[in-house]
Amino acid sequence: MNTGKTGIGRFFKGFVYAFEGIVSCIKTERNMRFHIGVAVLVILLMRFYGLSAAETAAVYICIGLVISLELVNTAVEAAVDMACKDKNPLAKKAKDCAAGAVLIAAVASVAVGIRIFWDYYAFMAIASYFARNIWLGIALAAGVILWLVWVFKTPADKDKKDKEKYI
């Protein structure tokens, strides 16, 4: 079995690089941390809804799309920053368009989420569940607070220093 530059080792090395890119983006991009937190919360709360296979697939596609586009946006920003040391209107356009793609996917995902999850009876079931299991409600609230701290923990200048470590 060849595990050299053209074998299965190279194939699996690609997964390692992809995972490193995801971890780097989570560490350095506030918006990625926000999207990851929302995705986890949505996945946890999905159990309260009797979603069809199509609805479940739509939710996972939306999550994957937003997170993927955030990765692409980060890659575009890094490439533009590396190529253009000075202000350049084309660099701005590239970065703005990449950010716009994430925004469109996020807004569309919110619309899908509202369509799927806006259900009074499910809201009551969730409230009732956490009222009966107060410690789980406290844990959820603490989790949301920790998520917000995680998302906003890093000031913008620290984010820039962290990004420079990965260049």
Q: Dig out the tokens for 69 from the structure.
A: 């586009």
Q: Where are the domains of the chain?
A: 8-165
17 annotated to bind ligand: yes
Q: Dig out the tokens for 47 from the structure.
A: 């159990």
The Cβ-side half-sphere exposure at 156, using a 13 Å CA radius, reads: 0
164 is catalytic: no
pLDDT of residue 1: 46
pLDDT digits (tens, 9 = 90+) for 92-144: 999 999 999 999 999 999 999 999 999 999 999 999 999 999 999 999 999 99
96 annotated to bind ligand: yes
pLDDT of residue 153: 81
pLDDT digits (tens, 9 = 90+) for 43-65: 999 999 999 999 999 999 999 99
77 annotated to bind ligand: yes
Share of the chain above pLDDT 90, in %: 76
Instruction: Enter the pTM of the model.
Output: 0.81
Q: What is the CA radius of gyration of the chain?
A: 20
- CATH number, span 8-165: 1.10.287.3610
20 annotated to bind ligand: no
pLDDT of residue 115: 96
Q: Give the closest residue to 37 by CA, choosing from 131, 150, 161, 133.
A: 150
Share of the chain above pLDDT 70, in %: 89
Centroid of chain to Cα 8: 29
Residue 76 reports pLDDT greater than 60: yes
Q: Dig out the tokens for 74 from the structure.
A: 């980060």
pLDDT of residue 156: 55
pLDDT of residue 167: 47
